Structure 1
Amino acid sequence: MPYTVKDGIIYTSACEIAIVQNCNISCRSCGHLSPLLEKDCLSPEQVFQDLSVLAKYYHCEHVRLLGGEPLLHPQLLDIVNAVRQTGICDRIRLVTNGLILWKMADPLWEALDQVYVSVYPGRAMTSAHLDICKQKAKQYNVELEFFNFDYFRESYSELGTNDQQLIGRIYKTCQMAQHWGCYNVYEGYFYKCPESIFLSRFLPNNPSSQSTVDGIKIEDSPNFAQDLIAYLESPTPLASCKYCLGTVGKLFPHEQISRKHWREPQQHPIEELVDLEYLSRLENEGLDIFDLGASSTLIDAENYHLPEPQTQVSSL
């Protein structure tokens, strides 16, 4: 399990907060389903309230602020300050596609510890904007890192599956929930993964009409730490797992796809979208397999160069 417990406190590497739902690009098979969601932002007050309570029972190395595209949040600095005030983490990391990072105001650079940029084919920042970001990161001692994503994995199926054994296999090998610790906090609830927040919001066949069915309510209670551990260690798949491919969806070259047609590739059952070979590898070799097909190595700002234009693809 990606956490330890000491003196009643859960210690882990991260906690994620999708502070804004919408995005300025439309990546096919986005795990946060941003192309389908309306513009909506978490308030600094909500973030402070949730993390203040959670911090009594949970501490992480860093809080990841993401979306959607977090730089679209009109109160981003207030969000960062709210997180900092709760004391729940050692560092605050912004995860962005970087397209408007060069516009980020100096007080935000000063407030953040880390900025991780996910670079997608056809949607990279310009060389001039990259230079601005490097200069700001150096000026304010911010750790600036880049990830080039050339491939995605299928994230979900609109039709799902009734194969309970397959659902269980996907859940047990889900690196987000079981290994990477992509735990999320959203509107008063704690979730094992971001998909468990958003899948139930729009799938017509999903029996869970509210996303809270897959999360645990954050409460200031003597039993909350034990309840949270029981939730994290539960072997029972979540309701959204019926439609989710975890981290074993088939691999495909990354592309942008119009929001109008975004759902069309997902009109297949789980059985047609799952990568059974990779699923078996995770079952046999363990969940720490580095998926070389899905992304490149993390690159620090000093050594990062923009992708070659001829390798970039866009369908928008």
Structure 2
Amino acid sequence: MPEYAPRPRVPGLLKETKTMNDTAALNYVIKDQLIYLRKVEVQVAFNCNLTCKGCVHGSPARPVKMLSPEEFARDLAALGSAARVHKLLLVGGEPLLHPDLVELLKLAKASGVAKYVCVTTNGVGLENMSDDFFSNVDSIEVSHYPRVRLRYTREDLERKAQQFGFTFAISAYATFQETHLSVPLDDPALVQQIYKRCKPRAEWSCHTFAEGRYYMCPRSPILGERLGSCGQLVDNRPADGVMMRDNPDLFGDLLRYLQRDDPLEACKWCLGSDGASFPHLLQSKKAAIEEASRIVHFAPTLLSPRARAELAGLLAPEDGKAEAAAP
């Protein structure tokens, strides 16, 4: 796996850019006609065993749905025709709920597409995982939330890590961010800035693939479902992702996509990484469903203080508080 440095350009394929994509340059390099991606996450379970308010995937309000091993293998093979991944994360929802999680891990490792295959979990249920799980994962990343009691302790993980040779990290998250809008932004300049500043797209490399398409934003493939909860019909997937399956020019299409300057369609309904923070809260299932159906208009109060200051020139002073109402 090559080191991640500013990428070489393919002569004649794309113009040189020196502004917006400077951070994105850390996300991939090109070697031997393959794109080496720094990190890609795949949502393998769409529901969750927690009901966090403001979940970026909307998992508390989503029905039980799991990524099938067959679809996962098909998309891995498609991506592998043009790319390799340094770190492949299996995420949720809550991935430990997937009944075939071990099979997914084995498929990912056998594909040769990823150097490291990892699982991101809230940690609830680790005590139920088999040795087959621990022996097939390269790294476990635990997101620990306030008031969530974990039966599986750090010491338990240390013992398993020593036994099976994986690494792990436990990160505490006391706050979430405002993210979702259900009424699109109508200011192209503001949408452009949200895209440019978006850390999941660039700095954090939260790229994903789903149903045969590659996305630089994990919120893109679920936008239509999320907006459907509040009565809107939107299908942004063809515009926001690159078709991987049966694509003879996946290398070129993916490279052009990674270097695009234009925001995604999903950016109109998103605050990127500029949303205001709020304390983590576990809510009822009913409240989560009600939250998913609320109509949320943009207002500067939804942005973090820093974003409001840095984007002040684009924000109308008469904008008031965010409006939210049941459809």
- TM class, shorter-length: 0.7 to 0.9
Specify which of 199, 220, 241 is matched with residue 215 of structure 1. 241
Q: Does residue 1:234 correspond to 2:260, yes or no?
A: yes
Normalised by the length of structure 2, the TM-score is 0.80
Shift of 1:138: 1.9
Q: Distance in 2 between matches of 1:24 and 1:83?
A: 24
Structure 1: gaps of 5 or more residues:
284-316
Q: Could you tell me the percent identity over the aligned residues?
A: 31
> What residue number does 2:19 align with?
none
> What residue number does 1:182 align with?
206
Post-superposition CA distance 1:157-208 (Å, at most 9, x none): 2233222221111111111112221110112111111110112213146552
> What residue number does 2:281 align with?
255
After superposition, residues 55-204 of structure 1 pair within 5 angstroms as 55-126=80-151, 129-204=153-228
Shift of 1:210: 5.7
Relative to structure 1, the CA distance from residue 10 to residue 36 in structure 2 (aligned partners, 3 Å threshold; closer, same or farther) is same
Shift of 1:133: 2.8
Q: Which amino acid aligns with 1:158?
A: S
Residue 185 of structure 2 aligns to a residue in which SS? coil
Q: Distance in 2 between matches of 1:171 and 1:36?
A: 26
Contact 1:177 / 1:193 at 8 angstroms: preserved in 2? Answer: yes
Shift of 1:114: 0.2
Q: Distance in 2 between matches of 1:6 and 1:280?
A: 41
Q: Distance in 2 between matches of 1:232 and 1:270?
A: 27
Normalised by the length of structure 1, the TM-score is 0.83
Q: Distance in 1 between matches of 2:235 and 2:116?
A: 35
Q: Distance in 1 between matches of 2:171 and 2:149?
A: 11
Residue 184 of structure 1 aligns to a residue in which SS? strand
Specify which of 289, 306, 310 is matched with residue 277 of structure 1. 306
Residue 201 of structure 2 aligns to a residue in which SS? helix
Specify which of 19, 29, 32 is matched with residue 4 of structure 1. 29
Shift of 1:34: 0.7
Q: Distance in 1 between matches of 2:156 and 2:89?
A: 23
Contact 2:46 / 2:66 at 8 angstroms: preserved in 1? Answer: yes
Residue 193 of structure 1 aligns to a residue in which SS? coil
Relative to structure 1, the CA distance from residue 161 to residue 80 in structure 2 (aligned partners, 3 Å threshold; closer, same or farther) is same
Q: Which amino acid aligns with 2:117?
A: I
> What residue number does 2:74 align with?
49
Structure scoring higher RCO (CA < 8 A, sep ≥ 6) equals 1
Specify which of 11, 18, 29 is matched with residue 54 of structure 2. 29
Q: Distance in 2 between matches of 1:166 and 1:206?
A: 22
Q: Distance in 2 between matches of 1:264 and 1:110?
A: 39
Shift of 1:227: 0.6
* Worse-matched range after superposition: 12-21 or 265-274: 265-274
* Worse-matched range after superposition: 204-213 or 170-179: 204-213
Residue 135 of structure 1 aligns to a residue in which SS? helix
Larger-gyration structure (1/2): 2
Shift of 1:281: 5.5
Q: Distance in 2 between matches of 1:258 and 1:276?
A: 29
Relative to structure 1, the CA distance from residue 96 to residue 159 in structure 2 (aligned partners, 3 Å threshold; closer, same or farther) is same
**Alignment RMSD (CA, Å):** 2.1
Contact 2:58 / 2:226 at 8 angstroms: preserved in 1? Answer: no
Residue 237 of structure 1 aligns to a residue in which SS? coil
Post-superposition CA distance 1:68-101 (Å, at most 9, x none): 0000000001101111111111111110000111
Relative to structure 1, the CA distance from residue 158 to residue 221 in structure 2 (aligned partners, 3 Å threshold; closer, same or farther) is closer
* Worse-matched range after superposition: 55-64 or 156-165: 156-165
> What residue number does 2:269 align with?
243
Residue 86 of structure 2 aligns to a residue in which SS? strand
